[in-house]
């Protein structure tokens, strides 16, 4: 069947091909592991190119090239502040897309489960804490909640009541925690390595510590409250 447009008559096949070509633009944009990592980082909040490059262990030029691809696919947006360029997700749906992509890969590929078992579960002395348990216990004041992401990520959004203790500062700040405290650490998500590394350090110093099984993006996607602003220090 032909479809009349303002300029020409298109067949149904041509219409479908055109639509799928547009859908494929998203697939092409995320067909690179570093671009997927950049989406993960931007789920935490707006970042400059330099900060993203450092977090993703890439050069600024390479990072900028990947970000251009994501921008052309309308997955990210930008703003300028002087000579600096800051990137952010186009909207919250992009983070939802990233999380769905990640979870689909986890369901389909045994390699993801293997990495999870070998790296993340191996560092858990106790089961990870779920959102519901953390909400109940944090509300009762039973646990100290540590956000071990960089400070700028905490300021962009964090679990209410959480204390900002970036992983790089954790060892120097251990003395500020009561020795009998139970600590729950969280970072960027279930595959972020910051919280497991924090657990290793806390366990070595005799603290009871668990990690939140998810991170700030999943917390936000679940519709739970998110606080923003300057860090609360231990």
Q: What is the pLDDT along the chain (234 residues), one digit of tens a residue?
A: 455 555 556 788 888 999 999 999 999 999 999 999 999 999 999 999 999 999 999 999 999 999 999 999 999 999 999 888 999 999 999 999 999 999 999 999 999 888 888 888 877 777 889 999 998 887 777 789 999 999 999 999 999 999 999 999 999 999 999 988 899 999 999 999 999 999 999 999 999 999 999 999 999 999 999 999 876 665
Domains and CATH numbers, the chain: 2-94 (1.10.10.10), 122-221 (3.40.250.10)
Residue 112's pLDDT is 87
187 is catalytic: yes
pTM of the model: 0.83
Measured distance CA(131)–CA(164) in Å, rounded: 18
CB 221 within 8 A of CB 96: yes
List all residues 6 or more positions away from 39 whose beta carbon is below 8 Å from its beta carbon. Answer: 30, 70, 75, 76, 89, 94, 95, 98
pLDDT at 138: 77
Question: By the 8 A CB rule, do 144 and 208 touch?
Answer: no
Whether 209 contacts 183, CB under 8 Å: yes
- The C-alpha angle with vertex 226 and arms to 76 and 127, in degrees rounded to 5, equals 100
Task: Provide the pLDDT for residue 50.
Answer: 95
Question: What distance in Å separates the CA atoms of residue 71 and residue 179, rounded to the nearest whole number?
Answer: 47
What separation, in Å, do the N-terminal and C-terminal C-alpha atoms of the chain show?
67
* Predicted pLDDT of residue 42: 97
DSSP tally for the chain: helices H, then strands E: 11, 9
Pairing mode, strands 182-186 and 144-147: parallel
d(CA 165, CA 173) in angstroms, rounded, equals 8
Neighbours of 52 (CB within 10 A): 21
Q: Which of 35, 38, 34 is nearest to 48 (CA)?
A: 38
């Amino acid at each position: 069947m032909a479809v009349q447009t303002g300029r020409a008559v298109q067949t149904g096949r041509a219409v479908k091909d055109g639509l799928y070509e547009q859908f494929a633009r998203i697939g092409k944009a995320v067909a690179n592991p570093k671009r997927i990592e950049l989406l993960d980082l931007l789920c935490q909040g707006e970042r400059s190119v330099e900060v993203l490059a450092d977090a993703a262990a890439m050069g600024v030029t390479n990072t900028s090239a990947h970000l251009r691809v994501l921008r052309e696919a309308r997955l990210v947006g930008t703003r300028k502040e002087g000579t600096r360029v800051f990137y952010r997700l186009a909207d919250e749906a992009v983070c939802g897309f990233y999380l769905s992509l990640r979870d689909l890969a986890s369901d389909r590929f045994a390699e993801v489960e293997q990495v999870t078992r070998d790296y993340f579960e191996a560092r858990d002395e106790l089961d990870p804490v779920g959102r519901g348990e953390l909400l109940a216990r944090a509300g009762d004041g039973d646990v100290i909640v540590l956000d071990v992401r960089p400070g700028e990520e905490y300021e962009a959004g964090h679990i209410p009541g959480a204390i900002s203790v970036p992983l790089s500062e954790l060892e120097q700040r251990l003395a500020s925690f009561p020795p009998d405290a139970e600590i729950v650490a969280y970072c960027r998500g279930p595959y972020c390595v910051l919280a497991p590394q924090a657990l290793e350090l806390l366990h070595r110093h005799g603290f009871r510590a668990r990690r939140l099984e998810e991170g700030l993006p999943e917390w936000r996607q679940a519709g739970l409250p998110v606080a923003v602003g300057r860090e609360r220090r231990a």
